[in-house]
Amino acid sequence: LGACERLQKMYIKAVLGIFGSSDSKARVQSILFLRQAAVLLPSPALDSILRGAYKQFNANAKFVNAGSVPHISFMASCISELWGVDADASYLHAFGFIRQLAVTMRSALNTKTKDAFLEVYCWQYTNCLELWAKVLSAHAGN
């Protein structure tokens, strides 16, 4: 998988799709593959794994109900583990994603419209903040 970059990208994209799905056994297998790929494959693969895992989390964090809470919590724990693989690469991506959340918050505070308020007063925003708190506290020493 390491030699053929195109196949690698397609496979990682497919596994990230499984990671965002609702089948728990498949999600566990997908995170095991993603963790192994993040450790063994060169940097472009790690970058796409980190970005893709966060995007899958972000997409699933929108819809919170009693059935989705364990799924979102599992994804947050897995992402926290993935972001600990390489501190340098993780820092670059985390900085961008956290900055994006901060810009959204600043925009909501400055415009003070109902739509701007609803952008930060939603489950997706709250879950993303909680995820980054979990990631940063888990890897504070790095």
Question: Tell me, what's the pLDDT at 141?
Answer: 87
For residues 37-54, average pLDDT: 93
Question: 16: domain range?
Answer: 5-138
Q: The whole model's pTM is what?
A: 0.92
Number of domains forming the structure of the chain: 1
Question: Tell me, what's the pLDDT at 2?
Answer: 62
Write the CB contacts of 133 (distance below 8 Å, at least 6 apart in sequence). none
Q: Count how many Cα atoms sit within 13 Å of the Cα of residue 126 in the half-sphere of its side chain.
A: 11
Q: 53 and 79 in contact (C-beta within 8 Å)?
A: yes
- For the chain, percent of residues with pLDDT exceeding 70: 98
Q: What is the pLDDT of residues 46-58, one digit of tens each?
A: 999 999 999 999 9
